[in-house]
Amino acid sequence: MYKFKKVVIVSVLALIAALIFSTIADASVRVKGYYRKDGTYVQPHYRSNPDGNPYNNWSYPGNTNPYTGETAPGNPDTYLENYYNNKSSAGSSVDWLNQGTGLYHVYQYDKYLQSFKNMQYATNYAQKWDHSKVLSGTTNIVIWHNYPYHVYQNDKYLNSFSSLFNALNYAGKWDHSSVVDGSNQKTIWKNY
């Protein structure tokens, strides 16, 4: 019986290790060794999977590389500026991302912050601020926000949630309750 328990425990631990490794492997890309223009050889290594989101890169300040255990140093604002500069087709400038020229506008509360031509860039930028939202410049509709969802019962405030799912789940437990979108103060669900 003892041997059976030991086999089961070892099997479960091996399964957990395999799941952890596969999660890391899915989030990474192996880079072959190569020579830089100056003749320096760069050893083969792993890097985070390119997905257009700078916040989950291992080189983003504060993030940890799971292969080396090293935490990336630096200033997040400087990192993002360099990240978007490198992605810009305009060379070393991000003028094409800046104020008034984009299709997606970022606000914090009702204060305009910046506009972007790319929805993902606008959303990534807006995520740095609490109570922020991204509006489509063509329709003026909120397409992303991190305002809380407020739950009311008979116009009495009960609670706030960062996710609509959690707000709806909570509100569904109460009679005569409603969920209000914090970005525009409109009721988006009610059960009366």
Whose tokens are 């959690």? That residue is 166
Instruction: Let me know: does 88 contact 94? Beta carbons within 8 Å.
Output: yes
The reply to whether the predicted model has a pTM over 0.75 is no
Map residue 39 onto helix, strand or coil.
Answer: coil
Predicted confidence (pLDDT) per residue in 34-60, tens digit: 888 888 898 888 888 776 677 778 888
pLDDT of the residue at 104: 87
Distance CA 191, CA 178 (A): 7
Distance from CA of residue 102 to its chain's centroid?
21
* Mean pLDDT, rounded, of the chain: 78
Predicted confidence (pLDDT) per residue in 88-134, tens digit: 443 333 433 444 445 889 999 889 998 888 888 889 999 988 889 99
Distance CA 83, CA 133 (A): 22
Map residue 68 onto helix, strand or coil.
Answer: coil
